[in-house]
Chains A and B, each alone.
Chain A
C-alpha cells in the first residue's frame, strides 16, 4: 500500500518527467555524440534514413564502408539489433556520417546514377562463396539481368545455383549490390527481400522491364 506521503511526493515530483524534450533534441544529442564519438573512434556503426519512391530505407556504415542497406519493408529495429549483436552495439543515428551512400541512392532513384562508387563492408557475409557471388553481382551492369545459374557461374561455380540463390537472397546490401538483377530462368522475376513490388520497380527504373 502506498502511504499518503508517498503518493503526495509522487504527484509533486512526477511532473518533472513531463517537462521533457521533443524528439528534435534527441537528434541533436545523437549528432553531437556522433561528432564527438567519431573523433575518439567510439562510433562503430552510423546509420540514417534515405527516402525512396517506395518508402523509407536505411543505410548503415562502418569505417570500412557500407555494411547494410535496409529496404522499406524491413524491420529496421530488428536489423539494427542484429548489427549490434554481430558487429558492435556502438551504433548511432548519424546522417552526416553516411552522406555518400544517401546521396548516391538519391541520385540512383532520381535516374541520375547507374553505378555506385562506395566502399563496402562485407563482414556480415561469412561464407567465401557467398562473397564471391556478391562480388560477381557488383559487376552486373545497370539494366542487365541474369539468372541464378549465370551468377553462380560468374562466381566460379556454375553448378552451385542454389547456393548462389541463398547468397543473393541474403545480400545485406540490396540495390548497391544489385541482387534485383537476378531473375528466374523462366523469365519470372523471382523472390526479392524488398518485396516483389520493389524488384519490379527497380528493374523498370533501369529499363530492364517495360513499364507496367
Chain B
C-alpha cells in the first residue's frame, strides 16, 4: 500500500488523536502534544510499514504524552506534591483525570478516576480501545506490543477496573 498524502492522515486522525491526548495529558496541554505528534510524524513520514498508519500515529502520540509527563516529573515539585516520585514509571497518573468527574459525576466519574489509577500501560490500552475505538492490531502497534498482548492488556485492565469500581474505590 502506498503512503497517502500526509494531509489525509491529519484529516482522518486529528480528532481521535486529540481526544486520546486530552485524556492522557489534559485539555490544557493536548493541543501542544497534538502539534508535536504530527510534526514528529511528518519527520518520519512515510514509515517503512504503511499498512497500519493508525497504530503508527497513535504510537507517536503516546510517546509524546509520555515525554510530556517525564518533563513534568523532572520539573521541580512544589512542597507537598509528593507521593508519586518513582520516576518515569509513575509517569503519569494525571491528576486532572481523577478530577474529571466534575462534569460527569456518579458512575461515569468513578470509571474515569479508576482509569486514571491504572498503571500507565493499561490506561493507554483502555483509552485506545474505548475512548478512540482502535482495533487490537492498532493498539499493539501503538504500544509496541503484539496484538495478543494488547488484547490481554485490555482485558487485565477491565478486570482491574471491575474490582476497583465494585469496591467503591473512587479515589
A-to-B contact residues, CB < 8 Å: 3, 5-6, 8-17, 19-21, 25-26, 29-30, 32-33, 36-37, 40, 42-43, 45, 47, 77, 80-81, 83-85, 89-93
> How many B residues are at the interface, by size bracket?
35 or more
Is B22 touching A10 in the complex (CB atoms < 8 A)?
no
A-B CB contact pairs (8 Å), 29 listed? A6-B130, A6-B158, A12-B104, A12-B112, A12-B130, A13-B23, A13-B112, A13-B126, A13-B130, A14-B130, A16-B22, A19-B19, A19-B22, A21-B14, A29-B14, A29-B38, A37-B39, A42-B43, A43-B42, A80-B5, A81-B8, A84-B2, A84-B3, A84-B4, A85-B2, A89-B2, A90-B42, A91-B6, A92-B7
Is B42 touching A33 in the complex (CB atoms < 8 A)?
yes
Is A5 touching B14 in the complex (CB atoms < 8 A)?
no
A30/B43 contact (C-beta < 8 A), A3-B158, A5-B158, A16-B23 known: no
Q: A29-B38, A33-B38, A92-B42 are in contact. List 7 more A-B contacts (CB 8 A).
A: A9-B115, A11-B108, A13-B111, A17-B19, A30-B10, A33-B10, A89-B5
Is A37 touching B42 in the complex (CB atoms < 8 A)?
yes
Say yes or no: is B107 at the interface (Cβ < 8 Å to chain A). Answer: yes
Per the bound structure, the CA–CA distance linking A13 and B125 in Å amounts to 12
Say yes or no: is B169 at the interface (Cβ < 8 Å to chain A). Answer: no
Which DSSP category, helix, strand, loop or mixed, fits chain A's interface?
helix
B-to-A contact residues, CB < 8 Å: 2-8, 10-11, 14-16, 18-20, 22-23, 34-35, 38-39, 42-43, 45-46, 104, 107-108, 111-112, 115, 126-127, 130-133, 158, 161-162, 165
Minimum distance in angstroms from B30 CB to a CB of chain A: 10
